[in-house]
Amino acid sequence: MTTTQQLKVNVSEAAPNTRRGGDIRVTLSPKTVGCTSGFGGTLHLAAGEHVTEHYHPYSEEFLHVVAGELEMTVDDRPIRLSPGDSLLVPINARHRLVNVGEQEAHVVFHLSPLAPRPELGHVDTEQPTAPHEPNPQVGGGQ
């Protein structure tokens, strides 16, 4: 392999985003490593904290719970999640994630395929917890 493209990103290098709640860090994206099929990263949620409801009109979301007890509501259907659980959120499904446990939760996520433009990737259906904070800049698209 003869490339100078960055392939590895440490979570400490990713800017935190708290727009929808929690600490979301996009580590692998078109902007960070030049990938073309999706983006992913980590989420930390304090006890009782939530990620506001939204949906992705172009992407499926894949979640894997590393630590904590969570409840994801997908199109008004509550789904309990524990460490080791993985969940698929289909394209266009409204979803909201709540830490229902007593410890911090840690989730790894990936979304694919990419939206045509980054600003089309998320549609908020609930007021973000930090509405003046910009969406994570994952890059890519036209």
How many other CB atoms are there within 10 angstroms of residue 61's CB atom?
22
CB contact at 8 A, 58 and 128: no
pLDDT in the model for residue 60: 98
Cα(47)–Cα(40) distance, rounded to whole angstroms?
23
Assigned superfamily of 17-118 = Jelly Rolls (2.60.120.10)
In sequence order, what are the beta bridge partners of 112?
A: 60
Segment 21-63, tens digit of pLDDT: 999 999 999 999 999 999 999 999 999 999 999 999 999 999 9
Segment 89-134, tens digit of pLDDT: 999 999 999 999 999 999 999 999 999 988 899 999 998 888 777 7
Cα(82)–Cα(122) distance, rounded to whole angstroms?
25
Read off the pTM.
Answer: 0.89
User: Which of 4-8, 23-27, 58-62, 72-76 bottoms out in mean pLDDT, i.e. has the lowest?
Assistant: 4-8
pLDDT category at 142 given cuts 50, 70, 90 is very low
pLDDT category at 5 given cuts 50, 70, 90 is confident
Residues 43, 46, 52, 53, CA torsion sign: positive
Cα(88)–Cα(73) distance, rounded to whole angstroms?
12
Domain positions in the chain are 17-118
CB contact at 8 A, 112 and 44: no
CB contact at 8 A, 107 and 91: no
